Structure 1
Amino acid sequence: MDQSFGTMLRDWRTQRRLSQLALGLDANVSARHISFLETGRAKPSRAMVLQLCEVLDAPRGTRNSLLNAAGFAPAYRRRDLNEADMAQVRSAVDWTLARHDPYPALALDRHWTLVKINQSARLLLGAISLEEGDSLLSVMTDVERLTVMFENWQEVAQHMLARLRTESGHLGGDRILDAASDRLAESLGTEYADPSGVLPAVVPARYRAGEDTLSLFSTIAQFGTAEDIALAELKIELMFPADDATRRMLLAMTPGL
């Protein structure tokens, strides 16, 4: 059943933990006007819908839904990365991944599907039968596979659980991410990898590589001015060696890079 604009606005304001006054102040309108919009006593302009969405940091798909509920046409498209007008974006993704070799790099969509990976990531993930088009959620929510893939699987699982919940919360709830986080939380149970001593600057994921271990940490990049739905959801994860031994192994795995 389709929701009214007012109901959707109230739900998103609650999701972002904003009072009517706080939302009104940030959107340059009165709390009374926000109340009227939520109850249907006032109708928003298209510009007002987009302004409220900006303040609420609503995802692009949700902004389309709010525009539609208010009687306006959508403002955002969901393009495939292979479309002609995405050529420059596609080139930027390819350039970033290729230049990051010999360190692993991945481009992931909203549901952690491997959209693109570089040569080093292909070697790393190929060991667990993952390739472009597969979803990392199949591994990251399976404790049996986590224990095979990571020496410090509990630490990795706890970080993944927090990340899944954060990403779902930003989206206002996502059933796939929520189901994945529920599976992971159930598998972890009450176990917690309590660190001894002071934590390091970053907690690396320690991948099993035969008799060796690859210790990697990562940073995540996104397109800062993306107005396409799919592009706004795309994440580029760049992995870096956490020690010299890992750096040397990665260089040896990808000769000529």
Structure 2
Amino acid sequence: MDTLTPASETALDFPALLRYWRGRRGYSQLALSLAAGVSQRHISFLESGRARPSREMILALSDRLGVPLRQRNRLLLAAGFAPAYSEHALAEPPLQMVRQAIALILAKQEPYPAVVLDRFWNISDANRAYRRMVDALLDGRPAAVLPEGLGNDAGGGPRINLMLTVFDPQGLWPLIENAHQVGRYLLRRVWQELQAQAHDRVAREIFARIAQWHPEMIGPGGVPHADEEASEGPLPPVLPVVLRAEGFQASLFSTLTTLGNPHDVTLQELRIECFFPADEPSRLALEALGRDAEPAAVQNR
């Protein structure tokens, strides 16, 4: 899987990381120097290791390049500085207000599904509608989880991984009528995440597992195939996911909610995905599911 990792991103030194992020954002040394208010020569010296950055310079360059908070901490560590941004588990006291806000969002989404995901699409929380839907779809089959020791940022053992459960041939994949369309879209999201987290074993494991299950979706060099449908005509305003299982079928689209201006790594990476019915029969199906007897909560099987 070495082709999945940009060569410069595997390095631990600050100059290589700075070159990587400048390249990722499409900046020349001159453009970055103008944006950051420093000389091009200084940027060149930082990337060659001839000059050592200050803590303030690293934060300024990271801001101009739009580097995620986790990677800003990594840049600081690589240069010999302490991390600038905290990273708390969602269950910890400093994030109590955020937990209350998330609980409100989940509750207000009823009777439609909503799920809280961490940076690697592990399920951190979900409302009752989401649990009912997944129970109805899987019908007792186990959901996919990451290998032990990977991707368990919040502790407490393995958690269901939504992305793997979607692509798993024994999971949701055979229940998605438009799996080819949905799969290509989601695989691009995984690939984009991999580019920012390539050094992380979890991102590599997720992509490798999907590539093993669906090699036809991977092109030369380990890059996902382009979506041919995107070039054949105008795209729909939303991408519906058409689900069909015994006793349940629905066409859904989703929205992703992130927290604005977070200063904590966990909060920046947190995503709340809310699902909505794409047509009237789907609305009725979800509401009917909610009127049924409450099933057991989604558990790590």
Name the TM-score, length of structure 1 as normaliser. Answer: 0.88
Does the 8 Å CA contact 1:146/1:153 hold for their aligned counterparts? no
Q: Number of matched residues?
A: 256
3-state SS, counterpart of residue 134 of structure 2: helix
* Cα distance in structure 2, aligned partners of 1:211 and 1:188: 31
* Residue 202 of structure 1 pairs with residue 238 of structure 2: yes
Call closer, same or farther: CA 1:244–1:229 in 2, change over 3 Å. same
Matches within 5 A, 1:221-240: 221-240=257-276
Q: Tell me which residue corresponds to 2:210.
A: 184
206-215 or 222-231: bigger deviation: 206-215
| AA aligned opposite 2:19 | R
Deviates more, 1:147-156 or 1:116-125: 147-156
Are 2:153 and 1:126 aligned? no
Aligned to 1:184, the other structure's residue is in SS state: helix
Tell me the distance in 2 between the aligned counterparts of 1:72 and 1:193.
46
Q: Structure 1 pair 114/148, CA: closer, same or farther in 2 (3 Å)?
A: same
> For structure 2, which runs of at least 5 residues remain unmatched after alignment?
1-9, 145-157, 218-224, 293-301
Asked whether the equivalents of residues 139 and 145 of structure 1 are also in contact (C-alpha less than 8 Å), the reply is yes
Q: Indicate the larger mover: 229-238 or 64-73.
A: 64-73
Q: Residue 55 of structure 2 corresponds to which residue in structure 1?
A: 46
TM-score normalised over the length of structure 2: 0.76
Judging changes above 3 Å, is the alpha-carbon distance between structure 1 residues 147 and 37 closer, same or farther for their aligned structure 2 residues?
Answer: closer
Q: Summarize the Cα distance change of 1:40–1:51 in structure 2 as closer, same or farther, 3 Å threshold.
A: same
How far apart, CA to CA, are the structure 2 residues paired with 1:169 and 1:7? 15
Distance 1:11 1:255, change over 3 A: same
Partners of 1:146 and 1:52 in 2: how far apart? 42
C-alpha deviations, 1:140-197, integer Å up to 9, x for none? 3324534422111111111111111122234456443344334434515169785987
After alignment, is 12-21 or 89-98 more displaced?
Answer: 12-21
Helix, strand or coil for the counterpart of 2:86? coil
Q: Which residue of 1 aligns with 2:165?
A: 139
2:52 counterpart letter in structure 1:
K
Find the aligned partners of 2:79 and 2:211 in 1 and give their Cα distance: 38
Partners of 2:166 and 2:173 within 8 A in 1? no
RMSD: 2.6
1:113 aligned to 2:137? no
Contact 2:143 2:171 (C-alpha < 8 Å) held by counterparts: no
Q: Which has the higher contact order (CA 8 A, sep 6+)?
A: 2
